[in-house]
Structure 1
Amino acid sequence: MDNGLAGRSVYAFGDSIVYGHVYPRSFADLVAEQESMTLTKFARNGATIGADPHASGGQILAQVEEATDIAPDFVIFDGGTNDAQSIFRDRAYDVGTYAEELERTLNTMKRKWPTARIVYVAAHKLGSRDWDTQMALRKVTLQACRQSDVAIADVFGETTFDTRDDGQRVKYTFDDLVNGFPGTDGSGTHPNMAGITTFYVPVVSARLQQISLR
């Protein structure tokens, strides 16, 4: 059955969860391959929504601004994972500043590519980040997406992927490669292939299919 995605183009922005961390393939690559889409990935490890001078990947807004003006059919992006560290650990800015920068990022996407359908990918529940900060960021992010008519692929809310559970952290996340592929027993942040295929790919693919058929 034609789900409306085959042959379509998708741009992917965000942090290491979208980029792949130390592996060049992420859920974005697997979704694009499964759905026969053309992916261009702009994500950078360490990227944030807010402006943190110490963040290694710069702002996601900069990725959007530097991308081509040619409109894709779809945009997928994440954010907030490194912001949680910038806010809680480093006190680089606060949740209110994050919300303002997220609005700027969304407005830039919509102005630059008015025909593109935008999907925010809410990352899994992270044992590697302060929980209250995650929840505060989630609240303002979902509110901003709804106000901007941005779809949400809610891995956080729609799956059981939760690396506060040590068994899940060990099984589904990685920090380093083993024989060239993502290993296990990670910090809880970066999903390995099992985490990607079990939790991310089904949610993101389903959301893209849903909005493509509107």
Structure 2
Amino acid sequence: MNKGLAGRSVYAFGDSIVYGHVYPRSFADLVAEQESMPLTKFARNGATIGADPHASGGQILAQIQEATDTAPDFVLFDGGTNDAQSIFRDRAYDVGSYAEELEKTLHTMKRKWPTAHLVYVTAHKLGSRDWDTQMALRKVTLQACRHWDVAIADVFGETTFDTRDDSQRATYTFDDLVDGFPGTEGSGTHPNMAGITTFYVPVVSAGLKQIALR
């Protein structure tokens, strides 16, 4: 029987796209509210999958380790956005090291919450990151998720959200708040409310509903 999503708990881990950047609400909040799911958000701005000593948000693995042992029904998480900078710009580690840390992260979640449904949310196509690095990270991330039976809410692959297109960058991303809310004309990384509601929420919500139907 389909239990639906209402009342089913969700934890959210990751970087500023999950946290909200300088605004404390992200796609995770909107999906949880839309589906009446209690949300606990552990994401931190600047977080990485790989171990970069200079990453302002630390490792996503640390968020998971610090979270309660009580299993949620669902886990939403992302990664790779800041790793792309750590790898390409800072040379802090390479794609192979990222893949090893991702395996450790997925294993930790599976061991800690064996009954939870894990859902990896891909970031949109980023004009603010090196494209070849994005593609390399995407390849190893999708491989690992499939290996660990982690569902994929594929904003990158299933939507047209692409901030290499300057008009999309300007319309759908923000860096700063305007009158307390996300503005426009961002760098291409952080989706504003239009970016979230147009691209992220439909994909993530559909992914959760598909799992609930099983």
Scaled by the length of structure 2, the TM-score of the pair is 0.99
Structure 2 residue 125 is matched with structure 1 residue 158: no
Distance in 2 separating the partners of 1:3 and 1:195: 29
Structure 2 residue 148 is matched with structure 1 residue 143: no
Q: Deviations over 1:155-184 (max 9, x none)?
A: 000000000000000000000000000000
Q: Assess if the C-alpha contact under 8 Å between 1:3 and 1:209 holds in 2.
A: no
Cα distance, 1:207 vs structure 2: 0.2
The number of equivalent residue pairs is: 213
Cα distance, 1:3 vs structure 2: 6.4
Counterpart position of 2:40: 40
- Amino acid aligned to 1:141: T
Mapping 1:1-214, distance limit 5 Å: 4-214=4-214
Q: Deviations over 1:125-147 (max 9, x none)?
A: 00000000000000000000000
Distance in 2 separating the partners of 1:29 and 1:129: 25
- Amino acid aligned to 1:99: A
Distance in 1 separating the partners of 2:71 and 2:188: 34
Secondary structure at the aligned position of 1:100 is classed as: helix
- Amino acid aligned to 1:79: G
Distance in 1 separating the partners of 2:105 and 2:213: 26
- Amino acid aligned to 1:97: S
Cα distance, 1:4 vs structure 2: 1.2
Distance in 2 separating the partners of 1:126 and 1:7: 33
Q: Deviations over 1:39-89 (max 9, x none)?
A: 000000000000000000000000000000000000000000000000000
Secondary structure at the aligned position of 2:186 is classed as: coil
Q: CA RMSD in A?
A: 0.7
Unaligned runs of 5+ in 2: none
Distance in 2 separating the partners of 1:153 and 1:212: 14
Distance in 2 separating the partners of 1:88 and 1:136: 11
Moved over 3 A (4+): none
Cα distance, 1:123 vs structure 2: 0.5
Distance in 1 separating the partners of 2:117 and 2:125: 25
Scaled by the length of structure 1, the TM-score of the pair is 0.99
Cα distance, 1:212 vs structure 2: 1.2
Distance in 2 separating the partners of 1:94 and 1:22: 28
Distance in 1 separating the partners of 2:124 and 2:187: 13
Distance in 2 separating the partners of 1:203 and 1:3: 20
Q: Assess if the C-alpha contact under 8 Å between 1:23 and 1:182 holds in 2.
A: yes
Cα distance, 1:107 vs structure 2: 0.3
Unaligned runs of 5+ in 1: none
Cα distance, 1:19 vs structure 2: 0.1
Distance in 1 separating the partners of 2:212 and 2:128: 34
- Amino acid aligned to 2:213: L
Distance in 1 separating the partners of 2:213 and 2:12: 20
Distance in 1 separating the partners of 2:119 and 2:22: 24
